[in-house]
């Protein structure tokens, strides 16, 4: 007897293997940005200079401390690259941010670190030779380079903060020895740079893209069943999360990775909102403890960059504003014999303490003045601080008067 065609079709369909849900993409394929010489974009100039700096100082790539003769050679080797970065800093910067492999070093960061280190050492050399004008110009270039880098993601921004701090701290103790004209020019330039810094919201948007690149990394490794790669990249801390993945069914996979990626977005959205309100009104990011988070070990490795960035950014903005304002107060004192009464009024937003959203504490008596931030505890302790200058009140690096 003939078997009805409809029954054959039903049997065939019933025997077919159920297809797995497709894998979603949470980050694009890694495509490194290619800088263009002569583009007029400062960022291109920085990247090209960074490549040259890394190549020229490769013998010192893994060295953290330097003797005097090594510093001298380092400066000689990096001189051309540093000068290239200084020239680039005279133009506007536009960062075309591209997320990269979260577990590989950024190709440009070694060279940019070289440039930041060399700028600070050149400032020290200029000061030792009595050339404060050159030292001031070098510091302004370092401030521009470091500040421009904050337009990337958190890794880029933290490197930018470091570059600014190295040169700022190298010059700050000698400010009182500089003439009024140099101080005024440097103060105004510093406040201009920090006043036009890239938006912190953009930095957080770029960081979300980097977080999602981490989610994509985990999913790609899971798809290939390459658990050894996960273990190598994130060490034994992710063992429980890896074991969960190994037992994850294909049907559960889409919701797992959507939840994983959704946490990155939720963290960044929260951070952006908190930056819009004064620090005392900010709330910590809290997850619903009733919600299962089987990816939480991965999240610990990939998502906990936001709070350290915000704290670093507050210090960077605070100390750079204090630096610029101090230059202007010292300049006025040298020119008129008195610290200016209207220092904070003239500085507008640059006179605001990032910790409170209110003006810095400023007290003057003749040429003498005291200028500081209340710091993280948001309490005025009269300018008292520890050896780091960060607590309880936050100060500029010590000034030798």
Residue 9, domain member (yes or no):
no
**DSSP class of residue 59?**
G
pLDDT tens, residue by residue, 109-159: 999 999 999 999 999 999 999 999 999 999 999 999 999 999 999 999 999
Question: Does residue 240 have a cis bond before it (omega within 30 degrees)?
Answer: no
291 lies in the same domain as 315: no
Crossing angle of helices 306-336 and 200-223, rounded to 10°:
150
User: Which residue segment(s) compose the domain that 133 sits in?
Assistant: 42-198+310-372
pLDDT tens, residue by residue, 250-285: 999 999 999 999 999 999 999 999 888 878 888 999
pLDDT bracket for residue 354 (50, 70, 90): very high
pLDDT bracket for residue 2 (50, 70, 90): low
What average pLDDT does the segment 39-44 reach?
Answer: 98
Residue 2, domain member (yes or no):
no
194 lies in the same domain as 209: no
Residue 100: Cβ-neighbour burial (10 angstroms; 0-12, 13-18, 19+): buried
**What whole-number distance in Å separates Cα of residue 324 and Cα of residue 74?**
29
**Whole-prediction pTM:** 0.93
| H helical segments located in 16-108 | 42-56, 68-88
Q: Is the pLDDT of residue 6 over 70?
A: no
90 lies in the same domain as 185: yes
82 lies in the same domain as 186: yes
112 lies in the same domain as 207: no
Residue 159: Cβ-neighbour burial (10 angstroms; 0-12, 13-18, 19+): buried
163 lies in the same domain as 49: yes
Q: For residue 226, give both structure tokens.
A: 């390459």
Q: Reduce the DSSP state of residue 64 to 3 states and report it.
A: coil
- Tell which residue, 257, 259, 264, 261, has the closest CA to residue 303: 264
282, 274 Cβ separation under 8 angstroms: yes
179 lies in the same domain as 328: yes
Residues paired with 371 in a beta bridge:
362
- Count: domains in the chain: 2
Report phi then psi at 245, rounded to 5.
-60, -40
Q: Reduce the DSSP state of residue 372 to 3 states and report it.
A: strand
């Amino acid at each position: 007897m003939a078997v009805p065609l409809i029954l054959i079709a039903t049997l065939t369909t019933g025997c077919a293997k159920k297809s797995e849900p497709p894998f979603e993409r949470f980050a694009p394929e890694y495509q490194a940005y290619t800088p263009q010489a002569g583009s007029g974009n400062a960022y291109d100039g920085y990247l090209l200079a960074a490549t040259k700096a890394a190549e020229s100082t490769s013998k010192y790539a893994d060295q953290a401390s330097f003797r005097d003769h090594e510093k001298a050679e380092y400066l000689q080797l990096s001189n051309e690259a540093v000068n290239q970065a200084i020239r680039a800093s005279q133009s506007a910067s536009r960062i075309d941010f591209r997320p990269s492999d979260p577990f590989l070093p950024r190709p440009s960061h070694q060279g940019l670190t070289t440039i930041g280190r060399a700028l600070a050492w050149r400032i020290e050399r200029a000061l030792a030779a009595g050339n404060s004008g050159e030292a001031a110009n070098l510091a302004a270039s370092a401030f521009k380079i470091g500040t421009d880098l904050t337009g990337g993601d958190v890794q880029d921004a933290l490197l930018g903060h470091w570059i600014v701090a190295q040169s700022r701290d190298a010059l700050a103790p000698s400010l009182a020895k500089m003439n009024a004209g140099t101080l005024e020019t440097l103060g105004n330039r510093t406040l201009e740079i920090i006043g036009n810094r890239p938006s912190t919201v953009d930095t957080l948007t770029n960081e979300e893209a980097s977080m999602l690149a981490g989610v994509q990394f985990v999913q790609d490794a899971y798809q290939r069943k390459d658990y050894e790669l996960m273990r190598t990249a994130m060490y034994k801390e992710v063992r429980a999360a890896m074991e969960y993945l190994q037992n994850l069914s294909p049907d559960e996979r889409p919701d797992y990775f959507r939840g994983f990626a959704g946490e990155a977005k939720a963290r960044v959205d929260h951070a952006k909102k908190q930056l819009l309100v004064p620090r005392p009104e900010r709330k910590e990011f809290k997850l619903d403890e009733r919600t299962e988070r089987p990816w939480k070990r991965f999240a610990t490795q990939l998502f906990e960059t936001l709070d350290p960035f915000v704290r670093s950014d507050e210090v960077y903005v605070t100390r750079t504003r204090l630096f610029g304002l101090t230059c202007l107060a010292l300049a006025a004192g040298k020119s008129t014999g008195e610290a200016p009464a209207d220092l904070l009024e003239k500085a507008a937003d640059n006179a605001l303490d990032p910790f409170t959203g209110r003006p810095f504490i400023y007290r003057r008596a003749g040429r003498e003045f005291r200028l500081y931030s209340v710091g993280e505890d948001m309490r005025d302790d009269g300018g008292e601080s520890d050896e780091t200058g960060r607590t309880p009140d936050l100060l500029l690096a010590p000034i030798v008067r």
